[in-house]
């Protein structure tokens, strides 16, 4: 009962005919099977992977159940080890941060309590890797193309002060951030976004950068809705928020950046002044949206923006000696996730991945005509 996909090919070798596998399901190397009641020994000839036909007998089903149980058991052991590793790492991390505080609080009474994050400014963007700033840049261009194709999108998403003040269509607090009034408007905002966005993203990190950008745009539209009855679109409020956040970041860490930081702050103030002056002379520019966005960015930088400290690294857990220095980030608002919630999220993530693998295996089985088994044969040495 040969249950492999092997076709016979007689090349005239008589009783010692070699049967080569020519089925499309054959995988790798030359496989040979002996004729019935004959022996064939070809040492060193490898068959590679061969796909076995689906069997429906009870033995095969029970074997598949045993294999699945073994896989589930191995997966359970793996998850248990991962949980133990997470718990051990979390305990060591907290112990290190406590010793860090014990050492540095002796020299600086204003040194903050844990938790901390090690801080380092992200490196320059790599070729082939798109930053969040670049993705926002491309998203603005894409949406402007949709506006050109369907002009009604602009009126559907623009800031409407009358509707917002009545508490209706609150989505208009966010949608204007991604809309623009013309190609010149788009180009000006895209240039400003690329210039300032990369600096803020490198200093704040991706998550805090995105939160600052969106909140600044929303705050800008709130202030504009209160102070100006005119409709408005554009990302300039969110970009002004990035400017305000970066200025606040430099101000809060002035002792670390020194003269270079002061020069950047002066340049930012000049840019803000010129833009506000230009907005006063052009009634088409929503200065209130710019001011509101700037205020939102300053507030986000004070709440979640990087506040940097130079910390001495303790030699041991008692924190008596320092062996080096690190730069830590301790924002004003920083929450430590409860252990049970952290473990729960990790458990959900692991089980979702496992479910995805099972679904992938089932789908592959459906497309391949049912469940399959792959066997690896070494040397061809069959006898019947």
Active site members? 236, 290
CB atoms within 10 A of CB 316: 10
The dihedral through the CA atoms of 224, 228, 231, 233 has a sign that is negative
CB atoms within 10 A of CB 164: 19
The dihedral through the CA atoms of 201, 204, 207, 213 has a sign that is negative
Whose tokens are 């008692």? That residue is 318
Helix 206-227, helix 132-149: angle, nearest 10: 40
Looking at residue 122, what DSSP letter applies?
Answer: P
Distances in Å between the alpha carbon of 328 and those of 101, 112, 225?
11, 10, 39
Give the full edge-to-edge strand order of the sheet including 308-314: 117-118, 322-329, 308-314
CA 122/CA 131 separation, integer angstroms: 11
Whose tokens are 């001495």? That residue is 312
CA 26/CA 42 separation, integer angstroms: 19
Closest by CA position to 75, among listed 316, 361, 369: 361
């Amino acid at each position: 009962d040969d249950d492999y996909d092997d076709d016979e090919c007689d090349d005239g070798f008589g009783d010692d005919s070699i049967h080569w596998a020519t089925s499309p399901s054959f995988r790798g190397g030359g496989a040979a099977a002996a004729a019935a009641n004959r022996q064939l020994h070809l040492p060193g000839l490898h068959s590679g992977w061969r796909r076995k036909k689906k069997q429906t007998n009870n033995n095969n089903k029970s074997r598949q159940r045993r294999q699945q149980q073994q896989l589930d058991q191995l997966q359970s052991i793996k998850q248990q080890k991962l949980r133990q590793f997470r718990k051990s790492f979390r305990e060591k991390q907290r112990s290190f941060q406590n010793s860090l505080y014990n050492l540095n609080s002796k020299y600086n009474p204003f040194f903050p309590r844990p938790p901390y994050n090690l801080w380092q400014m992200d490196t320059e963007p790599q070729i082939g890797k798109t930053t969040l700033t670049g993705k926002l840049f491309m998203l603005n261009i894409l949406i402007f193309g949709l506006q050109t194709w369907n002009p009604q999108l602009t009126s559907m998403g623009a800031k409407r002060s009358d509707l917002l003040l009545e508490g209706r269509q609150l989505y208009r607090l966010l949608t204007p951030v991604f809309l623009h009034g013309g190609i010149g408007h788009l180009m000006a905002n895209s240039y400003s976004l690329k210039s300032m966005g990369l600096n803020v993203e490198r200093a704040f990190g991706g998550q805090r950068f995105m939160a600052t950008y969106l909140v600044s745009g929303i705050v800008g539209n709130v202030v504009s809705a209160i102070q100006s009855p005119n409709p408005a679109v554009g990302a300039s409020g969110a970009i002004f928020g990035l400017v305000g956040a970066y200025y606040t970041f430099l101000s809060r860490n002035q002792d670390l950046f020194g003269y270079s930081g002061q020069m950047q702050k002066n340049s930012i103030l000049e840019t803000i002044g010129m833009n506000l002056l230009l907005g006063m002379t052009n009634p088409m520019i929503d200065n209130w949206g710019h001011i509101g966005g700037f205020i939102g960015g300053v507030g986000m930088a004070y709440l979640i923006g990087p506040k940097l400290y130079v910390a001495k690294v303790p030699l041991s857990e008692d924190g008596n000696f320092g062996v080096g220095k690190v730069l830590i980030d301790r924002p004003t608002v920083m929450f430590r996730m409860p252990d049970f919630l952290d473990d729960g999220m990790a458990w959900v993530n692991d089980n979702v991945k496992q479910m995805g693998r099972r679904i992938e295996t089932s789908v592959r089985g459906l497309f391949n005509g049912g469940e399959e088994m792959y066997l690896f044969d070494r040397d061809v040495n069959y006898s019947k």
